[in-house]
């Protein structure tokens, strides 16, 4: 939060709790919001989850499945892109209002406790329900691996195809080759609470990641070039917006 306060005009934290039956405890969670150009009513939201999974339930070694994951890609990659985006937006402000949101509690769920998923994004949508919604939402998740392949996510393509086309078109214009124009996975992620509320939202994610939810999700699996490409797309999207109404 201190890092964001050095970049953004407004930074807010929202603390809440989730009574996790899996952890058998009440978990303290916190969303963090940084606003750039808060004077502008037309806004977009970029989000990522900043929590990591408390247990490595997909680890190939059963003895390690109770351990928390480091989450270098699953969580930290999206946060890294948005922190760098925040730094660059301070240097040269966007042409549209930008809200950067770090969601907590995305990864507390299991098949036995599906309510544990997306606690932060659900909370954010509930808490802002009476406010003017963003023009659209872009969620980043697992965008850091080497040989990144960002296919259209199925729910995003079905329910917010115009935003998919906008982001993928920007990537094409910039020559960022990691963006692929077909659906490979349909994923439930932090974009779903927004879609359920009627707000256009997409998930930018490479779900083909063998280290997902294992103790092997470590920085050596990630690539600075992958992160840079995703960040470049978002930065140009708000510096030269072609989607604003008059």
* Domains in the chain: boundaries: 2-239
* CA 72 – CA 212 distance, rounded (Å): 10
In angstroms, rounded to a whole number, what is the distance separating the alpha carbons of residues 189 and 193? 8
What percentage of the chain reaches a pLDDT higher than 70? 99
Please identify which residue in the block is written with the tokens 């349909």: 186
Residues 2-239: name the CATH superfamily: Zn peptidases (3.40.630.10)
Contacts of residue 183, Cβ cutoff 8 Å, sequence gap at least 6: 151, 152, 153, 154, 157
Q: What is the pLDDT of residue 79?
A: 98
Rounded alpha-carbon distances, angstroms, from residue 189 to 22, 33, 39, 49: 20, 18, 30, 10
138-175 pLDDT, tens digit per residue, is: 999 999 999 999 999 999 999 999 999 999 999 999 99
Please write the tens of the pLDDT for every residue from 34-54: 999 999 999 999 999 999 999
Residue 1 confidence (pLDDT) above 90: no
**Which of these ranges, 12-16, 76-80, 238-242, has the smallest mean pLDDT?**
238-242
Cα–Cα distance, 34 to 99 (Å, whole number): 6
Q: pLDDT value at position 245?
A: 65
Q: CA 49 → CA 40, 119, 175, 176, 232, distances in Å? A: 25, 10, 27, 23, 20
Taking residues 7-26, report their average pLDDT. Answer: 95
Q: What is the pLDDT of residue 246?
A: 53
Q: What is the pLDDT of residue 95?
A: 94
* 71 Rama class: left (phi>0) / alpha (psi -120 to 50) / beta: left
- The residue among 144, 166, 139, 142 whose CA lies nearest residue 237 is 166
* pLDDT over 60 (residue 193): yes
Q: State the angle between helix axes of 76-91 and 224-239 in degrees (0 to 180), rounded to the nearest 10.
A: 40
Classify residue 173 by burial, with Cβ atoms within 10 Å: 0-12, 13-18, 19+: exposed
Q: Count how many residues are written for the chain.
A: 246
Q: Is the pLDDT of residue 240 over 90?
A: no
What per-residue confidence (pLDDT) applies to 124? 98
């Amino acid at each position: 939060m201190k890092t964001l306060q050095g970049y953004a005009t407004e930074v807010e934290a929202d603390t809440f709790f989730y009574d996790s039956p899996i952890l058998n405890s009440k978990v303290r969670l916190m969303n963090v919001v940084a606003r750039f150009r808060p004077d502008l009513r037309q806004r977009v939201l970029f989000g990522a989850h900043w929590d990591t999974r408390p247990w490595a339930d997909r680890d190939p070694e059963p003895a390690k499945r109770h351990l928390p994951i480091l989450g270098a890609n699953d969580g930290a990659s999206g946060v890294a892109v948005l922190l760098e985006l925040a730094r660059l937006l301070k240097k040269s402000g966007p042409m549209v209002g930008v809200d950067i949101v770090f969601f907590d509690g995305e990864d507390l769920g299991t098949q036995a406790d599906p309510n544990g998923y997306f606690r932060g994004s659900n909370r954010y949508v509930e808490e802002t329900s009476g406010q003017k919604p963003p023009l659209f939402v872009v969620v980043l998740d697992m965008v850091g691996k080497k040989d990144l392949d960002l296919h259209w996510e199925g729910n995003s393509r079905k329910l917010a195809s115009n935003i998919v086309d906008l982001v993928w078109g920007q990537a094409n214009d910039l020559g960022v080759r990691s963006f692929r124009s077909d659906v490979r996975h349909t994923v439930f992620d932090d974009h779903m609470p927004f879609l359920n509320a009627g707000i256009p939202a997409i998930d930018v994610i490479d779900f083909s990641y063998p280290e997902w939810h294992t103790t092997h999700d470590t920085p050596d699996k990630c690539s600075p070039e992958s992160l840079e490409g995703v960040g470049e797309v978002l930065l140009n999207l708000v510096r030269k917006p072609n989607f604003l109404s008059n």
